[in-house]
């Protein structure tokens, strides 16, 4: 994987994970939100990143850039948008949302 593509994959995962944790925290009361987030990080963060890094490696840099833009704009996580993209295809398959 090229350095640029590797950086894109890492940033897509970082933004997705940030959005996911933001939703998890928002779903809890103020006191327990931080505990839920910390617990999720301890139990799941490494596997989340490794699984997604492997899955995202088949996407083009253009698709990864589109994913990053959509994640940043929508505050969704990858589980909510990944179905909109077809790996190894330079034209992302988009839903009409």
HSE-up (13 A, CA, CB side) for residue 27: 8
Which parts of the chain register pLDDT below 50? 89-97
Query: The whole model's pTM is what?
Result: 0.81
Q: Which residues are within 8 A (CB) of 60 and not within 5 positions of it... i.e. 6 or more apart?
A: 88, 89, 90
User: What are the structural domain ranges in the chain?
Assistant: 3-84
Element (H, E) at 25: helix 3-26
Token pair in block for residue 22: 């933001």
pLDDT of residue 90: 42
pLDDT of residue 87: 67
pLDDT in tens, 44-71: 999 999 999 999 999 999 999 999 999 9
**Average pLDDT of every residue of the chain:** 87
């Amino acid at each position: 994987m090229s350095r640029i593509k590797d950086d894109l994959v890492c940033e897509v995962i970082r933004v997705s994970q940030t959005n996911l944790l933001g939703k998890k925290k928002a779903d809890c009361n103020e006191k327990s939100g931080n505990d839920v987030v910390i617990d999720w990080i301890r139990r799941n963060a490494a596997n989340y990143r490794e699984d997604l890094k492997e899955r995202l490696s088949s996407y083009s840099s253009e698709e990864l850039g589109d994913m990053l833009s959509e994640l940043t704009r929508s505050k969704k996580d990858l589980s909510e948008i990944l179905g909109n993209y077809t790996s190894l295809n330079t034209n992302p398959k988009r839903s009409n949302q």
